[in-house]
A and B are shown apart, each in its own frame.
Chain A
Amino acid sequence: MSGNNIQLDDNGKLRHFLSIEGLNQEILNEILDTAESFTSVTDRTIKKVPILRGKTVANLFFEASTRTRSTFELAAQRLSADILSLNVDTSATLKGESLLDTLQNLEAMQIDMFVIRHQDSGSAYFFAQHVRPGVSVLNAGDGQHEHPTQAMLDMYTIRHYKQDFSGLRVAIVGDILHSRVARSQIHALNLFNTAEIRVIAPRTLLPVDTESLGVTVYEDLEKGLDGVDVIIMLRLQRERMRGALLPSEKEYFRKFGLSQERLQRAKPDAIVMHPGPANRGVEIESSVMDGAQSVILQQVSFGISVRMAVMSMIVGQSGLQSGVDA
Chain B
Amino acid sequence: MSLHIKNGLVVDVTASTTQQADLFLADGKIAGMGSAPAGFKAEQTIDASERWIMPGLIDCQARLRDPGEPEKANIESETEAAIKNGITTLCVPPDTQPPIDNSATVELIHHRNEMFGHQAHIYPIGAITRGLGGEQLSNMASLRDNGCIAFSNARHKFASNLVQRRAMDYAAGQQSLVIIQPLDQDLLGNGCAHEGAIATRLGLPAIPEAAETAALAKDIELVAQTGARTHFGQLSCARSVDMIRRAKAKGLPITADCAIHQLFLTDHDIGNFDSNMLTIPPLRSQYDRDALREGVADGTIDCLCSDHQPHEVDAKLKPFPSAEAGISGLDTLLPLALRLIEEGVLPLADLIARLTLNPATIMGLPGGRIGIGEIADLIIVDPEPHWICNATDFISKGKNTAFAGWDFRGRVTHTLVDGRVAYQA
Partners in one complex: yes
**A interface with B by C-beta (< 8 Å):** 1-4, 6, 21, 98-100, 118, 120-123, 125-126, 142-146, 180, 183, 207-210, 212-213
| Cβ-defined contact, B321 with A143, below 8 A | yes
**Smallest Cβ distance from A130 to chain B, in angstroms?**
8
| Cβ-defined contact, A126 with B319, below 8 A | yes
Tell me which residues across on chain B come within 8 A of A209, comparing CB atoms. Answer: 196-197, 200
| Cβ-defined contact, B203 with A3, below 8 A | no
Tell me which residues across on chain A come within 8 A of B206, comparing CB atoms. Answer: 207-208
| Cβ-defined contact, B199 with A207, below 8 A | yes
| Cβ-defined contact, A145 with B202, below 8 A | yes
Contact pattern, B 285-325, Cβ under 8 Å of A = 1, otherwise 0: 00000000000000000000000000000100111111000
| Cβ-defined contact, A212 with B201, below 8 A | yes
A176's nearest neighbour on chain B, judged by CB, is: B200
Contact pattern, B 187-219, Cβ under 8 Å of A = 1, otherwise 0: 000000001110111111110100000000000
| Cβ-defined contact, A121 with B203, below 8 A | yes
A4's nearest neighbour on chain B, judged by CB, is: B272
**B interface with A by C-beta (< 8 Å):** 195-197, 199-206, 208, 271-273, 314, 317-322
B273's nearest neighbour on chain A, judged by CB, is: A122
| Cβ-defined contact, B196 with A208, below 8 A | yes
Docked complex Cα distance between A146 and B201 (Å): 9
| Cβ-defined contact, B271 with A145, below 8 A | no
Given A98-B318, A143-B321, A144-B203, 16 additional A-B pairs, CB 8 A: A2-B272, A3-B271, A118-B319, A121-B273, A121-B320, A122-B273, A125-B273, A143-B203, A146-B203, A183-B201, A183-B203, A208-B199, A208-B200, A208-B206, A209-B196, A209-B200
Total cross-chain contacts (CB, 8 A): 78
| Cβ-defined contact, B204 with A144, below 8 A | yes
Docked complex Cα distance between A192 and B273 (Å): 26
Docked complex Cα distance between A24 and B278 (Å): 29
| Cβ-defined contact, A99 with B319, below 8 A | yes
**Smallest Cβ distance from B296 to chain A, in angstroms?**
27
Contact flag A21-B204 (CB < 8 Å), given A99-B318, A208-B195: no
Tell me which residues across on chain B come within 8 A of A145, comparing CB atoms. Answer: 202-204
Tell me which residues across on chain B come within 8 A of A208, comparing CB atoms. Answer: 195-197, 199-200, 206, 208
Tell me which residues across on chain A come within 8 A of B205, comparing CB atoms. Answer: 121, 144
Tell me which residues across on chain B come within 8 A of A125, comparing CB atoms. Answer: 272-273
**Smallest Cβ distance from B285 to chain A, in angstroms?**
10
Tell me which residues across on chain B come within 8 A of A183, comparing CB atoms. Answer: 201, 203
| Cβ-defined contact, A98 with B317, below 8 A | yes
Docked complex Cα distance between A4 and B205 (Å): 21
**Smallest Cβ distance from A278 to chain B, in angstroms?**
22
A99's nearest neighbour on chain B, judged by CB, is: B318
**Smallest Cβ distance from A285 to chain B, in angstroms?**
29
Tell me which residues across on chain A come within 8 A of B272, comparing CB atoms. Answer: 1-4, 6, 122, 125
Tell me which residues across on chain A come within 8 A of B318, comparing CB atoms. Answer: 98-99, 120, 126
| Cβ-defined contact, A1 with B271, below 8 A | yes
Docked complex Cα distance between A98 and B204 (Å): 21
| Cβ-defined contact, A180 with B203, below 8 A | yes
Of B200, B273, B319, the contact of A213 (CB 8 Å cutoff): B200
| Cβ-defined contact, B200 with A121, below 8 A | no
Q: Tell me which of B201, B203, B205 has the highest count of chain A C-beta atoms within 10 A of its own C-beta.
A: B203
Listed by A's residue number, 7 A-B pairs whose Cβ atoms lie within 8 Å are A122-B204, A125-B273, A142-B203, A183-B201, A207-B199, A207-B206, A209-B196
| Cβ-defined contact, B319 with A122, below 8 A | yes
What are the 5 closest A-B residue pairs judged by CB atoms, nearest first?
A: A122-B273, A144-B203, A120-B319, A145-B203, A123-B319
| Cβ-defined contact, B321 with A120, below 8 A | yes
**Smallest Cβ distance from B172 to chain A, in angstroms?**
36
Q: Tell me which of B204, B319, B322 has the highest count of chain A C-beta atoms within 10 A of its own C-beta.
A: B319
A147's nearest neighbour on chain B, judged by CB, is: B203
Docked complex Cα distance between A144 and B321 (Å): 11
Tell me which residues across on chain B come within 8 A of A143, comparing CB atoms. Answer: 203-204, 319, 321
| Cβ-defined contact, A121 with B197, below 8 A | no
Docked complex Cα distance between A207 and B200 (Å): 6
Docked complex Cα distance between A120 and B273 (Å): 11
Tell me which residues across on chain A come within 8 A of B322, comparing CB atoms. Answer: 120
Docked complex Cα distance between A146 and B204 (Å): 11
Of B197, B200, B201, B320, the contact of A120 (CB 8 Å cutoff): B320
Docked complex Cα distance between A233 and B271 (Å): 30
| Cβ-defined contact, A210 with B273, below 8 A | no
A121's nearest neighbour on chain B, judged by CB, is: B203
Docked complex Cα distance between A292 and B322 (Å): 44
Docked complex Cα distance between A128 and B202 (Å): 16
Tell me which residues across on chain B come within 8 A of A99, comparing CB atoms. Answer: 318-319
Of B195, B202, B208, B317, the contact of A122 (CB 8 Å cutoff): B202
Tell me which residues across on chain A come within 8 A of B273, comparing CB atoms. Answer: 121-122, 125-126
Tell me which residues across on chain B come within 8 A of A207, comparing CB atoms. Answer: 199-200, 206
Tell me which residues across on chain B come within 8 A of A21, comparing CB atoms. Answer: 201
Docked complex Cα distance between A21 and B198 (Å): 13
**Smallest Cβ distance from A269 to chain B, in angstroms?**
32
B189's nearest neighbour on chain A, judged by CB, is: A243
| Cβ-defined contact, B204 with A121, below 8 A | yes
Contact flag A121-B319 (CB < 8 Å), given A1-B272, A207-B206: yes
Tell me which residues across on chain B come within 8 A of A3, comparing CB atoms. Answer: 271-272
Docked complex Cα distance between A183 and B197 (Å): 12
| Cβ-defined contact, A100 with B317, below 8 A | yes
**Smallest Cβ distance from A311 to chain B, in angstroms?**
23
**Smallest Cβ distance from A315 to chain B, in angstroms?**
24
B195's nearest neighbour on chain A, judged by CB, is: A208
Tell me which residues across on chain B come within 8 A of A118, comparing CB atoms. Answer: 319
Docked complex Cα distance between A210 and B200 (Å): 7
Tell me which residues across on chain A come within 8 A of B196, comparing CB atoms. Answer: 208-209
**Smallest Cβ distance from A253 to chain B, in angstroms?**
26
**Smallest Cβ distance from B240 to chain A, in angstroms?**
18
Docked complex Cα distance between A226 and B208 (Å): 33
| Cβ-defined contact, B317 with A121, below 8 A | no
Docked complex Cα distance between A122 and B314 (Å): 17
**Smallest Cβ distance from A294 to chain B, in angstroms?**
27
Tell me which residues across on chain A come within 8 A of B204, comparing CB atoms. Answer: 121-122, 143-145
Of A123, A126, A212, the contact of B197 (CB 8 Å cutoff): A212
**Smallest Cβ distance from A4 to chain B, in angstroms?**
7
Q: Tell me which of B196, B206, B272 has the highest count of chain A C-beta atoms within 10 A of its own C-beta.
A: B272
Docked complex Cα distance between A21 and B205 (Å): 19
Docked complex Cα distance between A144 and B317 (Å): 20
Docked complex Cα distance between A1 and B200 (Å): 15
A146's nearest neighbour on chain B, judged by CB, is: B203
Docked complex Cα distance between A212 and B200 (Å): 9
Of B208, B271, B314, B321, the contact of A121 (CB 8 Å cutoff): B321
Q: Tell me which of A1, A4, A146, A208 has the highest count of chain B C-beta atoms within 10 A of its own C-beta.
A: A208
Docked complex Cα distance between A100 and B201 (Å): 25
Tell me which residues across on chain A come within 8 A of B321, comparing CB atoms. Answer: 120-122, 143
